[in-house]
Amino acid sequence: MYGFSVKFSGGFDEAVEKVTEALKTEGFGVLTEIDVKATLKKKIDVDRPPYKILGACNPALANQAITAEPDIGLLLPCNVVVREEDDKSITIAFMDPAAVLQLVDNDKVGELAEQVRAKLKKVSELL
């Protein structure tokens, strides 16, 4: 599996707010926020339930990863998805960096991926 998720017991906007705050507690900032629902409506006139992709980055760990493997930027940032399900429940899903970064044949990157995964797991536990 390339990710892990949690159910959020609140509304969509509250989930985006809470996960953004929880990410901060583990040293992450949100570099990008893609509103998939709005983009698809604007570009191809498709209606979808709320769905946002947050590009999360821990600058210190990202710097270490880039130092160890300059092309690692192709796999960064760590995406976090907040989506409304058909039953109106909210799911928050996290990219599993340990799974994704197995693509990189570099022990230093593997060690960093485990650190990032542990931090994202802590974030998921705060929700």
pLDDT of residue 17: 98
Structural domains present in the chain: 3-126 (3.30.310.70)
Q: What is the pLDDT along the chain (127 residues), one digit of tens a residue?
A: 899 999 999 999 999 999 999 999 999 999 999 999 999 999 999 999 999 999 999 999 999 999 999 999 999 999 999 999 999 999 999 999 999 999 999 999 999 999 999 999 999 999 9
The stretches of 26-91 forming alpha helices (DSSP H) are 36-44, 59-68
For the beta carbon of residue 20, count every other beta carbon within 10 angstroms: 17
Instruction: Please name which of 37, 34, 39 lies closest in space to residue 50, comparing C-alpha atoms.
Output: 37
Structural Rg of the chain based on CA atoms: 15
